[in-house]
Structure 1
Amino acid sequence: MSNIRVAVRVRPLSNKEQEDGSQEIVQVNENVVRIENIKVRGVPEFGDTARARARDFTFDHVYDSVQGNAPCASQAQASNPLGPWAEAGNHLEVFGDRKQVPRSCDCVSCPTQHHRTFQPEVCQAIYDVYEDEMWATPQTEDEWRPVAEGFGDRWNFPHCCGAIDGKHVAIKKPPKSGSLYYNYKGFFSIVMLAVVDSNYKFIWVDVGSPGSCSDADIFNRSRLEPGLREGTIGLPQPDSLPNDDRDTPYNMVGDDAFPLRQYMLKPYPHRHLARDERIFNYRCSRARRVVENAFGILANRFISLLTTLGMRPSTVTKTVMACMTLHNLMRTRYPNIQYADLDREDEQGQFIAGAWRDQAVLEDVQAAGNEPRLTGPGKELRAYLKNYFCSPAGSVPWSSMILVHRFSTMRSAGLTPACSRTGRQALARHTQ
Structure 2
Amino acid sequence: MFMLQNSTSYVTTRHSCLDSQHEQCGSVLYYPGARRCCISWGELISSELGVVYIHQSAGVGDQIRDHTSPEQSRLSKDIGKFVFVFLFDIIPHLTMYTRYNRRGYPERVVESQHLKLDDLRQEAWRIRLKNNYLYIDMPASPRPEFQVSHLKHDTNQTGLRGIKTDEGFRNPGRGSLLWWSLAVGPDEIASAERRLLETTFPDRTEEQVQMQQSFLEKFTTSPAFEQTSRLGSYRFTFPLEEVLEAYSEQFCSGAQPVMRVYETVLYKQEVMYVVLVHSPANQEQFSKYPLLTDDPNSVCTYRDGCFIWRPEAMSGTHRYKLVLRRDEMQMDAVPVTSCPQFYVWDHVAVALHVDEQVLNFDADRLRENLMWCDEGIAAISHGFNNFPEAEKFVRELWSDNPSPLQKA
Q: TM-score, normalised by structure 1?
A: 0.24
Structure number with the bigger relative contact order (C-alpha 8 A, sep ≥ 6) is 2
Looking at secondary structure, tell me which structure has more strand per residue: 2
Looking at secondary structure, tell me which structure has more helix per residue: 1
Q: TM-score, normalised by structure 2?
A: 0.25
